[in-house]
């Protein structure tokens, strides 16, 4: 056992390392100590064969440190005869000096080449305070978004314009107004529309923001609109400026398809002084396998929060996508729990949400969440305004303890929604 590779957690200066935690699966005969060493070497100073330049001094200063190997179940004195595959949690500490505040290089370090090693999944990354201070985090966060909207003691309600794409700016503006006059707090573009010829970004923003002003003049209701500025990373800032110059009071980015580091381009730009919503499409390609990839708690939780998203789309276990409730709760915890100097981010719960699940969502998350609804607002038989009202009626019922079905006896919009979507 190499003394420069294996140390106790207490044997390293915690402020100098990022610690990655992995789930791994190996064959019965695998030497798990050498396996863990191979990860530490591969991701820092070494390769598959020893090379002369990898001196002991280099290993000690820049090599990964195996600080934990834990088997599940925790066999101690023997491995049962029928067991052919073994499962472990491995924790490895990586020196900050290897990658600094370069987030893409951090990802390369903690899960680059080893992501192709078979059964291995990155399930957590722990950061020291010094590292997080190199990132701005959310500019507004939960408190800031609430302050802009003047909405405090309830979940926020967000609407996605539906249909997803294929409509003109004028048609989208009509849908925008109908949802907005029903009381919705935030309206976002669908992730599938950005700057197409049939609905250009600049024109769309101008038309939608006209409706924002109209809604405010009619009932004093502030609405945030998050236009989708997803494009090539080198064009992100230009698109953001187009949207803001056209009047946008928020932005949206498909942060996983563009690349997570693109978030920093927006957050660090002085001219971008509006909340940013991150759409997490493509996340399933990273987290869905139980044996490989990157945990959703990182992909949708800790990473986008560290990089600066004010709001992040999170799937839920009650909608149209398969997702475990405990993972959904953990992602939201990663967005809202104390994290050094980093502000909290709003979990925006989407993926087939309708009024019939409001009691469950509020029971799960309380008020610090955004309820994201598309089809359940625009497909309401009474129109988008009625669909929005049904959500607010369901939220009020859940918060008051009345219950959805009791509230449906006095609210027609909610009654219709519950009958339609059960």
Q: Identify the CA nearest to 346 among candidates 389, 314, 377.
A: 314
Residue 291 designated active-site: no
Q: Biggest alpha carbon distance in the chain?
A: 79
Q: Identify the CA nearest to 33 among candidates 81, 68, 82, 72.
A: 68
CA distance 99 to 89: 24
Residue 148 CB neighbour total at 10 angstroms: 18
Over 146-205, what HEC string results? HHHHCCCCCCEEEEECCCCCCCCHHHHHHHHHHHHHCCCCEEECCCCCCCCCCCCHHHHH
CA distance 247 to 253: 17
Out of 121, 181, 207, 279, pick the active-site residue.
Answer: 279
CA distance 251 to 86: 46
Q: Identify the CA nearest to 318 among candidates 363, 281, 288, 378.
A: 363
Q: Any idea what the Cα angle at residue 54 is, between residues 51 and 56, rounded to 5°? A: 130
Burial environment of residue 397 by CB neighbours within 10 A (0 to 12, 13 to 18, 19 or more): buried
CA distance 85 to 83: 6
Alpha carbons within 13 angstroms on the beta-carbon side of residue 410 total 9
CA distance 314 to 207: 28
Compute CA 121 distance to the chain's CA centroid, rounded to the nearest angstrom. 18
Residue 61 designated active-site: no
Q: What Rg value do the Cα atoms of the chain yield, rounded?
A: 24
Out of 121, 162, 207, 389, pick the active-site residue.
Answer: 162
Parallel, antiparallel, or unpaired: how do β-strands 370-373 and 186-188 relate?
unpaired
**Phi and psi torsions of 205, nearest 5°:** -60, -45
Cα first-last separation, the chain? 60
Question: Which residues form the catalytic set?
Answer: 162, 279
């Amino acid at each position: 056992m190499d003394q420069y590779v294996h140390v106790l957690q207490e044997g390293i200066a915690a402020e100098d390392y990022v610690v990655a935690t992995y789930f791994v699966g190996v064959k019965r005969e695998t030497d798990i100590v050498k396996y863990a060493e191979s990860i530490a070497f591969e991701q820092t100073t070494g390769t598959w064969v020893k090379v002369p330049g990898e001196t002991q001094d280099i290993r000690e200063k820049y090599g990964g440190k195996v600080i934990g190997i834990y088997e599940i179940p925790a066999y101690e004195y023997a491995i049962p005869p029928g067991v052919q595959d073994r499962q472990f949690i491995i924790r490895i500490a990586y020196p900050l000096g290897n990658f600094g505040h370069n987030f893409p290089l951090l990802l390369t370090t903690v899960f680059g080449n080893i992501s192709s090693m078979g059964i291995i999944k990155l399930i957590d990354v722990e950061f020291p305070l010094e590292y997080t201070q190199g990132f701005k985090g959310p500019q507004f966060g939960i408190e800031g978004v609430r302050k802009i909207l003047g909405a405090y003691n309830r979940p926020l309600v967000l609407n996605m314009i539906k249909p997803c794409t294929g409509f003109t700016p004028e048609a989208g503006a009509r849908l925008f107004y109908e949802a907005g006059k029903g009381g919705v707090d935030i309206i976002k573009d669908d992730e599938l529309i950005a700057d197409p010829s049939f609905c250009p970004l600049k024109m769309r923003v101008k038309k939608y923001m006209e409706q924002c002003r109209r809604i405010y003049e009619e009932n004093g209701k502030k609405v945030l609109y998050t236009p989708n500025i997803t494009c090539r990373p080198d064009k992100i800032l230009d698109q953001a400026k187009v949207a803001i110059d056209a009047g946008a009071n928020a932005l949206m980015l498909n942060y996983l398809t563009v690349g997570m580091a693109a978030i920093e381009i927006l957050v660090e730009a002085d001219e971008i002084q509006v909340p940013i919503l991150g759409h997490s499409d493509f996340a399933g390609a990273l987290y869905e396998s139980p044996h490989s990839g990157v945990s959703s708690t990182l992909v949708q939780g800790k990473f986008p929060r560290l990089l600066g998203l004010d709001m992040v789309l999170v799937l839920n276990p009650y909608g149209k996508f398969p997702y475990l409730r405990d993972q959904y709760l953990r992602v939201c915890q990663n967005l809202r729990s104390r994290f050094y100097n980093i502000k909290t981010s709003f979990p925006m719960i989407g993926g087939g949400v309708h009024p019939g699940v409001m009691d469950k969502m509020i029971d799960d998350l309380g008020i610090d969440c955004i309820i994201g609804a598309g089809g359940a607002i625009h497909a309401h038989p009474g129109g988008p305004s009625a669909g929005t009202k049904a959500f607010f009626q369901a939220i009020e019922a859940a918060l008051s303890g009345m219950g959805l079905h009791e509230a449906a006896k006095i609210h027609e919009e909610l009654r219709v929604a519950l009958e339609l979507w059960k």
